[in-house]
Amino acid sequence: MKVSSFKGFTIDAVKSLFRNKTISIATIVNIVVTLTIYGIFLIIMNVIVTNVNDVESRLQLKVYLKDSITVEQQQAVKEAIESVEGISEVYYESKSEALKNFREQLKDYAWMIEGYDETNNPLPSSYVVKITSPEISYRIEEKLEGFEGIDDIGSDKVLVREVSKISSFIKVAWAVLSFILILVSLFLIMNTIKLTIYSRRKEIYIMKFVGATDWFIRWPFVIEGMILGAIGGVLSIGIVYYVYSSIYKVLIDKNLFSYLVSPNFILIQLVIHFLSIGILVGIVGSIVSLRKFLKV
């Protein structure tokens, strides 16, 4: 397409927007409402994912060793653990370190284990394994099955299982929700654009009659859809960002929520999602809505 042609189509699109102010405003409102709802769920998803990732980053398991374990057996256990992919860190915790750490965890109740020292320490030595995802704990348990010198393998199995379920659910729910909201946006925009096209149907039929190509007729409407989508996207970004920033400030100032996503990160997400969805839906809505009127 030539620059001059695009300029002409754009001018026609802008004129049409002002000529049909009511319909244009209705379309923009539909886009804003739909994208704002989408934005709310986008923020909720980001907050949940941030918290789930934080829990996952702190997931670990302990491989408790028998007091009778030999150096060779201990080395074999370590090598087996390190061979599993998805481990961020492995370190050895001696019996004395385990007792010291246990005292620190008890804090004000450390007096309960005052009678224990190096000579009668009941805690075993262990390998502490930090994992990057819940599934890794199961791989490690399978890998170490049958190894000599291992007393037990301790992990937050319930937490690991729940985190894994939440992660899977979020991915599926977000994909389904995004698809539904995009379809709703497309449906609303198509209906409002159809009103614009219907009001200009005689003009379209005349252009077809004198030999205008489908794309010559289509371009002003496509550009109109792009403009409406972009305006709706920008307004939605402003609304969602302002509301979230205000809520974020209140919650952070009062320490009501520790793991919130920063407004700047959300702004980037909003710009990417809203502008791309708004413009794309505007284009597709215009093209689909025109098909019936071009079949003459």
pLDDT digits (tens, 9 = 90+) for 182-197: 787 777 777 777 777 7
35 shares its domain with 125 = no
* Residue 142, φ and ψ in degrees, nearest 5: -65, -40
At residue 260, does pLDDT exceed 70? yes
pLDDT score, position 210: 84
For residues 186 and 283, the answer to whether their CB atoms sit within 8 Å is no
Measured CA to CA, the distance from residue 226 to residue 258 in angstroms comes to: 39
pLDDT at 236: 92
Q: What is the pLDDT of residue 109?
A: 74
Contact 39, 236 (CB under 8 A): yes
Which secondary structure element, helix H or strand E, spans residue 92, and what is its range?
strand 87-93
288 & 181 share domain: yes
State phi, psi for 119 to the nearest 5 degrees. -80, -30
pTM, two decimal places: 0.69
The model's confidence at residue 245, banded by pLDDT at 50, 70 and 90, is very high
Q: Which helix (H) or strand (E) holds 126?
A: strand 126-131
Q: Are residues 178 and 199 in the same domain?
A: yes
Domain boundary among 132, 155, 178: 155
In our burial notation (b when 16+ CB lie closer than 10 A, e otherwise), range 170-204 reads: eeeebeebbeebbebbbebbbebbbebbeebeeeb
Q: Are residues 37 and 170 in the same domain?
A: yes
CB 293 within 8 A of CB 197: yes
Residues 42 and 179 reside in one and the same domain: yes
As beta bridge partners, residue 93 has 126
Higher pLDDT, 230 or 164: 230
Q: Write down the pLDDT at residue 257.
A: 62
Average pLDDT for the chain: 82
pLDDT at position 279 is 83
Q: Would the CA dihedral through 96, 98, 99, 104 be positive or negative?
A: positive
The answer to whether residues 74 and 175 belong to one domain is: no
Whether residue 208 sits in one domain with residue 76: no
Tell me which of 171 and 220 has the higher pLDDT. 220
Q: What is the pLDDT of residues 144-163, one digit of tens each?
A: 888 889 988 887 666 667 76
Shared domain for 51 and 79, answered yes or no, is no
Query: 176 and 117 in contact (C-beta within 8 Å)?
Result: no
Q: In the prediction, which pLDDT does 76 show?
A: 92
Q: Which domain holds residue 101?
A: 60-155
- 10 Å CB burial of residue 36 (0-12, 13-18, 19+) is middle
The per-residue pLDDT for 2 is 62
Helix locations, 254-275, DSSP H? 263-270
User: For the chain, what is the domain count?
Assistant: 2
Domain end position, chosen among 123, 155, 187: 155
* 242 in the same domain as 97: no
**Tens digit of pLDDT for each residue in 79-122?**
999 999 888 889 999 998 988 888 888 877 777 777 787 778 88
3-state helix, strand, coil in the chain (%, to 5): 75, 10, 20
At residue 1, does pLDDT exceed 60? no
Q: How confident is the model at residue 4 (pLDDT cuts 50, 70, 90)?
A: low
